[in-house]
Amino acid sequence: MSLPIMAKATAVWLVDNTTISFKQIADFCGMHELEVQGIADGDVAAGVKGFDPIANNQLTQEEIDRAQADPMHKLKLKHYAAAQGEEKRRGPRYTPLSKRQDRPNAILWLVKFHPELADSQIAKLVGTTKPTITSIRERTHWNISAMQPIDPVALGLCKQSELDAAVQKAAAKKAKEGAALSDDERRKLLSTEQSLGADAEPRMPTAIEGLETFTLGQDKDDEEDAPEKEYDVDSVFNLPDSDDDEDDEDDQR
């Protein structure tokens, strides 16, 4: 269902100027009935100026009169030919000026950690152009040496659900093509929910990687076969012989 422009301001006007029920206003403006009741009580939309839907060609007076006479009647938005197809307009995602400088870092993160994503998917996620993505992929971007890969979700350039959807779409495309995936690629194609729900894999510290088979002592089998070594007091404490001490005293005299 199409919603009126400035829906909350329109709801304020309808509450102040008509006797239409809260339920009818909520359905027309895409709000919750309790939120409309909050507008009437002054708890919601305080200071918002009402937006006249009749003067702005969204409702007719006849439609409002019909809704006031019948509490079950649902308000219908007036057809506005000039706005036809506006909701279907497509274009690059708008990025605020304060965050546009972060887009190259986000693109570098996506290219590094999700190389399976198509340029069109990356452009849709962070609102950029394909030549920019290509220059970062090929490391020919003018500022590539100063870039750092940063998660676009952390930068606020896209939602986690949008990133997961793009990754899942790329995974389905690869599966359809029948391309073999490595373990690392398979982990990258998991969504956040799947990766968090998976069992934790034991990881070996990087400092001892490659030393899995190295042991500092003998194996248990060798220890069992080897005869038990006997120890005495002199060998443990390494005490000198008494004869040697007497000879040293004689030499000193």
Write out residues in the chain with pLDDT < 70, as ranges: 1, 79-95, 178-253
Q: Is residue 239 part of a domain?
A: no
pLDDT at 211: 56
3-state secondary structure of 236: helix
pLDDT per position as a tens digit, 185-240: 555 555 555 555 555 555 555 555 555 555 555 555 555 555 566 666 566 566 55
Residue 57, class by beta-carbon neighbours within 10 Å (0-12 exposed, 13-18 middle, 19+ buried)?
Answer: middle
3-state secondary structure of 144: helix
Q: What's the domain count of the chain?
A: 2
Residue labelled with tokens 């709000």: 31
Q: Are 128 and 93 in contact (CB under 8 A)?
A: no
Q: Is residue 205 part of a domain?
A: no
Helices (H), the chain: 7-17, 22-29, 33-41, 61-69, 103-113, 119-126, 130-137, 152-155, 160-177, 183-188, 192-197, 220-225, 233-237, 242-252
Question: Which pTM value belongs to this model?
Answer: 0.42
pLDDT at 86: 46
pLDDT at 181: 55
Domain that holds residue 25: 7-83
Same domain for 67 and 109? no
Q: Is residue 43 part of a domain?
A: yes
Same domain for 102 and 165? yes
Q: What number of other Cβ atoms are within 10 A of residue 226's Cβ?
A: 9
pLDDT at 94: 67
